[in-house]
Structure 1
Amino acid sequence: MIRVLVIDDHGLVRQGIRQFLADTPDIIVGADASNAADGLARARREQWGAVLLDLTLPDSHGLDVLKELRREQPDVPILVLSMHPEDQFALRAIRAGASGYLTKNSAPEELVTAIRAVVSGRHYLSPWLAERLAREATGHPFNAAHEQLSDREYQVLMRIASGKTTKQIASEMNISPKTVSTYRTRLSEKMNLTTDAELTAYVFRNRLLE
């Protein structure tokens, strides 16, 4: 039996996953958590067959949780289940150690297939994501400006495009306003874009936010 830990801040999502997997003979939700702190604590207390991880959590970004889980439990497969389209975070999630990436509009049956795949030691990748990774491996990556950014710089970019102030971004990311400004300067230099308006236009032009 595959025991799964679900880390997602939406109660309806956690309940839906639990109910659907209850009808699957070889997979069961052993526990769930609504935030990063609780999720990490539960992950440390027990052995898990797999972790289902959302990227949007109230107390930490899912990529940071993913990296922490990977450091502490390198053998546990982590499947990201996110509301964000693949072209926003999938590559970053795989680079950070995820075994697969699914969007929340995927069919429930695909979730079962993905869990079984990652538990068996394989990655679960869409054709789009597999192509991106293959191009990276052969030294021919796609050279979109935002793909040069670190995970933290990318998170700041997304929040700028969402209209957040420096103070709001600092609060959400649990960093100082000065650090936010540093990330802001770095990402502007890497992308060769100066103003918030230019950064926001880039994000929406490339459909990084809907």
Structure 2
Amino acid sequence: MTDIKPARILVADDHTLMREGLRRIIEGAPDMLVAAEATNGQEVIAHVRKGELDLVLLDLSMPGKSGVPLIKQIKEEFPKLPVLVLTMHQEDQYAVRSIQAGASGYLTKESAGTELLNAIRRVAGGRLFISPEVAEQLAMNAMPGSNKELSHKALSDREFEVFRMMVEGISVTDIAEQLNLSAKTVSTHKARILQKMNMQSLAQLVRYAVEHGIAGERSASED
């Protein structure tokens, strides 16, 4: 009988308890193992460049480069390395942007306990793991003129990331720290977001985000 080589997985998440929980789930399966762990984008790139991985299990929100820009860098340098996004964000827009950037799957942390191993096996096997809702949104985005229907679709990936953090009530200073950017750069992104979305204030952005399911109902204050 031929031994099956387990899939070597990089678990990238900046929360220790989450990484420990994922390790327990993964290493309970005979066909996969946690080969490395990372807590930020720099560590992710350092590990994938060693060329000893079969899959990256990636949290969207980590210090430094993260989210869609990090997915793009991984796929640019290692186009054949599958990326499975594991995130707390349930909104389809995050999933759509992740898949368009090159991720092969999108899984929320809420459903990780029951779906994680199946998702890993599908993605590691060269298939996609996405919900029917995300598949529908991807199809709709491919239709002519679709990107003009909702103003947030005009945002770049970095602008969308800043937009999402702003409407969740995170200050410019804290956004800059989390994304490893200067406050001036974040403020520039903020101005471009308002301009592209034809809005005048953060309060308008928050209302828009709530109406379109990009953020939950919460208060936000200008920085």
Same fold (TM over 0.5): yes
Q: CA deviation at 1:139?
A: 3.1
1:132 aligns with 2:176: no
Counterpart of 1:13 in structure 2 is 18
Residue 187 (structure 2) pairs with residue 181 (structure 1): yes
**1:36-68 Cα shifts (integer Å, max 9, x gaps):** 222221111232111100011122322222111
| Change over 3 Å in CA distance of 1:162–1:123 after alignment to 2 | same
Q: Do the aligned partners of 2:92 and 2:137 also contact (CA within 8 Å) in 1?
A: no
Matched residue, 2:214: 208
Q: How does the TM-score come out when normalised to structure 2? A: 0.85
CA contact (8 A) 1:86 1:129 kept: no
* Residue 88 (structure 1) shift: 4.3
- The question of 1:60 aligning with 2:60 is answered no
Instruction: Describe the superposition over 1:108-158 as per-residue Cα deviations: whole angstroms up to 9, x where unpaired.
Output: 341111111112211111000011112223436373221221111112212
Shift of 1:161: 1.8
Inter-partner Cα distance in structure 1 for 2:145 and 2:107: 25
Q: Check if 1:147 corresponds to 2:133.
A: no
**Cα 1:69–1:82, aligned 2, differ >3 Å: closer, same or farther?**
same
What is the Cα deviation at residue 70 of structure 1?
Answer: 1.0
Q: Are positions 1:168 and 2:154 aligned together?
A: no
2:81 paired residue among 76, 94, 114? 76
TM-superposition CA deviations, 1:77-126 (whole Å, max 9, x none): 00000011132411111111100100001143411111111122111110
Supply the distance in 1 between the matched residues of 2:202 and 2:67 (Cα, whole angstroms).
25
* 8 Å CA contact retained: 1:132, 1:141: no
Query: Which structure 1 segments of 5+ residues have no match?
Result: none
2:105 aligned partner: 100
> What are structure 2's unaligned runs of at least 5 residues?
1-5, 217-223
Report the 3-state secondary structure (helix = DSSP H, G, I; strand = E; otherwise coil) of the residue aligned with 2:64: coil
Contact 1:5 1:32 in 2 (8 A): yes
Correspondence list, 1:41-52, <5 A:
41-52=46-57
Give the equivalent residue in structure 1 for 2:219: none
Equivalent position to 1:2, from 1, 7, 11:
7
Cα distance change on mapping 1:193 and 1:117 into 2, 3 Å = same
Alpha carbons 1:86, 1:103 under 8 Å: kept: no
Letter in 1 for 2:79: P
